[in-house]
A and B are shown apart, each in its own frame.
Chain A
Amino acid sequence: MPPELSSRPRLAPGCRLGENNQQRVLLMPERALRLNGPSLEIVERCDGKHTVQQIILDLQKIYSKAEPHKVGQDILGYLALLQKERALDFEL
């Protein structure tokens, strides 16, 4: 199930941004994900305030040379991956 465009993703309890040797990472139980460029832009916006739609619009602006539909699809795919990792809660 792809996340609802109007929902507001927020990092789940025990999931947070961290940094080690100048590398930003998403820290979560028993796992860590390296964040670069777009993945960092997405995770920084998973604050319970931005809707999925707003995250997509923001990144379409930042990556204005990329095809907007593709940017949207990639973001939904990445959010679904984080959801599967149980790293996100979606607030309505």
Chain B
Amino acid sequence: MPHEISNPLALIAELTHRCPLHCVYCSNPLELQARTNELSTEIWTRVFQEAATVGVLQADFTGGEPLARPDIVELVRAARCAGLYVNLITSGLPLDESKLAALVSAGLDHIQLSFQGAREETANEISGTKSHAQKLRVLDWLSQHRIAVTLNFVIHRRNMDQLEEMLAIAESSCATRIEFANVQYYGWAFANRENLLPTRAHLDHSLAFIKHEQERLQGKIRIEYVVPDYYAKYPKPCMGGWGRKLMLITPSGDALPCHAAQIIPGLSFENVKDRGLREIWEHSDAFQKFRGEDWMQEPCKTCDRREQDFGGCRCQARLLSGDAAATDPVCSLAPLRPKVDAILAGMNTTPPVQLFAIPAWLYRPNPI
């Protein structure tokens, strides 16, 4: 049965996998693309124009570190000229004052500055590099410009006791948004999960804190909170539903329905060098695969919530159950939920002393 295809609203442009940070929860795939495979300025420019034509409103520039691209100012200008709202997700490391001014005058609308913690030692441990002090400098420069500023704090077991200090950094800056996003367990984070997943007590404390602060700061700073979905009752509506709202382009031009889709066996991806964006969005096998409801199994198939969460995350289903078409195992209705409960039980009985030793992290390398 054919299903109605909506327009994509956002294009996630993974401009490069190169990055000066080595974060232990990086959302990039384990197999990183080398610089020589990256798309040219011209192809990205065409992609932005095609994206605007199919209805995309926003371009999210990410990586790796998007500022590792020497043509980043040109790319911002190209996306803005195509009519897109341009968002740059960055570590801030390769930035200086003149580069920032150039990005803003090229039409940058929004910058998301990532932080790995509120304290230098935690932040440096997690990113595997010295980066924290530079981020604070960038935050200071940003107050000279009229663009939206979001601070992205990725939170987990090792920094969840620093939420108050993280918020204090935001409050003393020009930020209008702050995201506290719990690590999601794919790729590098999946490999490092046992040292990242928070305890139930951590989580409950953070939820109470966030609720209180959201009320206090309403109209001043918008606080977003992303829960670790292993603790959720129902799964997240991953990507707003497969092939419904978002399209991701990898550094080498593959068009993916989500960040981790390459882990699903049997999916083949079209490349923007060979096909137009509309054709890929509407007809490619990868985007069609989990669109609509025909692929669903029980309990999703007859569940009242299937139009709210779309069965959850296909990549998580694959990672935890081996079957990408299964109900996301974090769902309390999923047959495989006991597996997630067993993982959580392990986390919640670990002696707290382990929190003080530095784990044997698997750090993400920098591709050539």
| Chain A positions near chain B (C-beta within 8 angstroms) | 1, 12-16, 18-21, 25, 27-30, 32, 83-86
Q: How far is the CB of A54 from chain B (nearest CB, A)?
A: 21
**A32 and B85 form a contact (CB under 8 A):** yes
Which of B55, B57, B149, B219 is A18 in contact with, Cβ under 8 Å?
A: B57
**B176 and A27 form a contact (CB under 8 A):** no
**A13 and B52 form a contact (CB under 8 A):** no
Given contacts A27-B85, A29-B148, A86-B222, contact A21 B58 (CB under 8 A): no
How far, in whole Å, are A29 and B220 apart by their CA atoms in the complex?
A: 14
Which of A1, A16, A28, A32 is B9 in contact with, Cβ under 8 Å?
A: A32
**B57 and A32 form a contact (CB under 8 A):** yes
Given contacts A15-B148, A27-B109, 14 further A-B contacts (CB under 8 A): A12-B148, A13-B146, A13-B147, A13-B148, A13-B149, A14-B148, A18-B83, A18-B85, A27-B57, A29-B112, A29-B148, A29-B176, A30-B58, A32-B58
**A29 and B110 form a contact (CB under 8 A):** yes
A28 surroundings in chain B (CB, below 8 A): 148
A85 surroundings in chain B (CB, below 8 A): 222
Which of B9, B52, B110, B220 is A14 in contact with, Cβ under 8 Å?
A: B110
Q: Size of chain B's interface in residues, with CB distance under 8 A?
A: 26
How far, in whole Å, are A45 and B85 apart by their CA atoms in the complex?
A: 21
Residue pairs across A and B with Cβ atoms less than 8 A apart, 15 shown, are A1-B219, A13-B146, A13-B176, A14-B147, A18-B83, A20-B55, A20-B56, A21-B55, A27-B85, A27-B109, A32-B85, A84-B218, A86-B219, A86-B220, A86-B221
**A25 and B57 form a contact (CB under 8 A):** yes
Given contacts A83-B219, A86-B176, contact A20 B58 (CB under 8 A): no
B250 surroundings in chain A (CB, below 8 A): none
Is B177 in contact with chain A by the CB < 8 A criterion? yes
Given contacts A28-B148, A29-B110, A86-B221, contact A19 B176 (CB under 8 A): no
Interface positions of B from 146 to 177, Cβ below 8 Å from A: 146-150, 174, 176-177
How far, in whole Å, are A21 and B7 apart by their CA atoms in the complex?
A: 11
Is B182 in contact with chain A by the CB < 8 A criterion? no
The contact string, 1 if C-beta is below 8 Å from chain A, for chain B 277-308, is: 00000000000000000000000000000000
A32 surroundings in chain B (CB, below 8 A): 9, 57-58, 85
Going nearest first, the 6 A-B pairs with the smallest beta carbon separation are A14-B148, A86-B222, A27-B85, A14-B110, A29-B148, A29-B110
| Chain B positions near chain A (C-beta within 8 angstroms) | 9, 52, 55-58, 83, 85, 87, 109-110, 112, 145-150, 174, 176-177, 218-222
How far, in whole Å, are A12 and B150 apart by their CA atoms in the complex?
A: 13
How far, in whole Å, are A27 and B80 apart by their CA atoms in the complex?
A: 12
Closest to B148 in A: A14
A1 surroundings in chain B (CB, below 8 A): 219
How far, in whole Å, are A30 and B150 apart by their CA atoms in the complex?
A: 10
Q: How far is the CB of B314 from chain A (nearest CB, A)?
A: 22
Given contacts A32-B9, A83-B219, contact A14 B109 (CB under 8 A): yes
Which of B57, B109, B219 is A20 in contact with, Cβ under 8 Å?
A: B57
Q: How far is the CB of A69 from chain B (nearest CB, A)?
A: 25
Q: How far is the CB of A12 from chain B (nearest CB, A)?
A: 6
A15 surroundings in chain B (CB, below 8 A): 148
B222 surroundings in chain A (CB, below 8 A): 85-86
**A27 and B58 form a contact (CB under 8 A):** yes
Closest to B108 in A: A14
B83 surroundings in chain A (CB, below 8 A): 18-20
B112 surroundings in chain A (CB, below 8 A): 29
How far, in whole Å, are A58 and B9 apart by their CA atoms in the complex?
A: 33
Interface centre among A14, A15, A25, A28 (most CB of B within 10 A): A14
B219 surroundings in chain A (CB, below 8 A): 1, 83-84, 86
**B55 and A29 form a contact (CB under 8 A):** no
Closest to B85 in A: A27
